[in-house]
């Protein structure tokens, strides 16, 4: 195989594709190439785990006879049309079955508070996920690849202890695995080692990959919050700006350990509702354009929805003053309509007012 990777098309036609030479120039600009080992070593002594013991809400979807009837009559046609819009024409016949299966399986994949290792401090996790965002954007990968990589990393940390010096190697291995599932062209192992400033060798990367597969027992499937969000935005006829703003809020939650304890469907509906609230508060969305029926598809309570949105709003307010701004920069680009720095987010008062509204 040719060692030089060629640029390739992705599902998102808005993404910029880069040649090998352009990547090197771009690398100097965004600077994802660095080793986190020394940083984690210093963080280990400087920070103590302060992960709040948030009670886990494992919500089993109420898929009883009444709910099935509502889904069949009210949402059945909408789900079929939405799946057709995202090029799932063959699967349209099974739209309801696929949706119900996603709802059931997501509960099994959500972490509990006790699953998050205390040895990995909140700051370590934020540094690690922020680095993954940079590498993911540099390699021009699918959005699903990033979410799957973070999920695999969380799942491994749940079942196996790891030395903090190996956290970056674990993240790179999980990204490599996620690429094999979601991408049509995967990066070379040497390319990922280069992104880690050659702190780890290709042999070490592949060895960690085998360890992840072994400890996870090859259970790599993940119900993506992006799938829920896209279906909701299509059914609700939401604009691209609302979609990208919702994606921004969802991705920010990955920086926080509490975000891994929220079910994907709840993340999607919470992000969509918050994006609409903020846009309405900023005046970039009218009352008539707000879609209020998304929650009818799910069995979540208002308190669960508010708790999820509070986490998103709190993280969005802090990200500007933190050292982990990769997601902020990613969504400030024209390809994502600059939603992270647009009118809805330029003034923090909009988010603050939304948080006050959620409390009432």
d(CA 120, CA 157): 9
* Span 202-237, pLDDT tens digits: 999 999 999 999 999 999 988 999 989 998 888 888
Residue 360 has pLDDT above 50, yes or no: yes
Tracing tokens 């933190």 back to the chain, one arrives at: 322
Domain boundaries, the chain: 112-215, 224-359
Model pLDDT, residue 30: 45
- 170 burial level (CB within 10 Å; 0-12, 13-18, 19+): buried
Percent of the chain's residues with pLDDT above 90: 40
* Span 151-210, pLDDT tens digits: 999 999 999 988 989 999 999 999 999 999 999 999 999 999 999 999 999 999 999 999
Longest Cα pair distance anywhere in the chain, in angstroms? 60
Instruction: Give, in words, the CATH class of 112-215.
Output: mainly alpha
- Architecture (CATH level 2) of domain 224-359: Orthogonal Bundle (1.10)
- Between 169 and 47, residue with greater pLDDT: 169
Q: Please give the backbone phi and psi of residue 143, each rounded to the nearest 5 degrees, phi first.
A: -60, -40
Contact between 327 and 131 under an 8 Å Cβ cutoff? The reply is: no
Contact between 193 and 135 under an 8 Å Cβ cutoff? The reply is: no
* Span 281-299, pLDDT tens digits: 888 787 777 877 666 667 7
Tracing tokens 């923090």 back to the chain, one arrives at: 348
Least confident of 62-71, 235-244, 299-308: 62-71
Q: Identify the band that residue 247 occupies on the pLDDT scale cut at 50, 70 and 90.
A: very high
Model pLDDT, residue 115: 82
d(CA 102, CA 97): 9
Average pLDDT of the chain, as a whole number: 78
CATH topology match: 112-215 vs 224-359: yes
């Amino acid at each position: 195989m040719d060692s030089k990777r060629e640029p390739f098309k992705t599902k998102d036609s808005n993404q910029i594709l880069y040649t090998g030479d352009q990547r090197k120039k771009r690398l100097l600009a965004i600077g994802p190439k660095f080793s986190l080992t020394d940083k984690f070593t210093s963080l280990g002594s400087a920070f103590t785990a302060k992960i709040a013991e948030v009670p886990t809400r494992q919500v089993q979807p109420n898929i009883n006879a009444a709910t099935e009837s509502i889904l069949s009559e009210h949402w059945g046609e909408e789900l079929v049309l939405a799946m057709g819009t995202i090029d799932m024409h063959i699967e349209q016949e099974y739209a309801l079955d696929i949706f119900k299966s996603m709802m059931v399986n997501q509960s099994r994949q959500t972490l509990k508070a006790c699953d998050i290792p205390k040895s990995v401090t909140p700051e370590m996790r934020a540094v690690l996920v922020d680095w993954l965002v940079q590498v993911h954007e540099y390699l021009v990968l699918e959005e699903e690849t990033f979410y799957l990589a973070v999920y695999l990393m969380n799942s491994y940390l749940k079942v196996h202890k790891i030395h903090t010096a190996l956290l970056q190697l674990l993240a790179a291995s999980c990204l490599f695995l996620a690429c094999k599932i979601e991408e049509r062209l995967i990066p070379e192992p040497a390319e990922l080692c280069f992104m880690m400033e050659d702190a780890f060798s290709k042999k070490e990367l592949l060895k960690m990959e085998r360890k992840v597969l072994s400890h996870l027992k090859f259970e790599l499937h993940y119900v993506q919050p992006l799938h829920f969000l896209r279906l909701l935005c299509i059914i609700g006829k939401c604009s691209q700006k609302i979609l990208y703003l919702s994606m921004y809020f969802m991705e920010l939650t990955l920086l926080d350990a509490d975000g891994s304890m929220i079910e994907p469907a709840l993340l999607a509906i919470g992000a969509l509702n918050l994006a609409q609230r903020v846009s309405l508060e900023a005046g970039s969305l009218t009352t008539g354009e707000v879609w209020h029926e998304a929650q009818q598809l799910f069995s979540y309570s208002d308190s669960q929805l508010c708790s999820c949105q509070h986490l998103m709003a709190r993280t969005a307010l802090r990200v500007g003053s933190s050292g982990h701004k990769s997601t902020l920069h990613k969504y400030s680009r024209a390809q994502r309509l600059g939603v992270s720095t647009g009118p809805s987010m330029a003034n923090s008062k909009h988010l603050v007012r939304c948080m006050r509204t959620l409390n009432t």
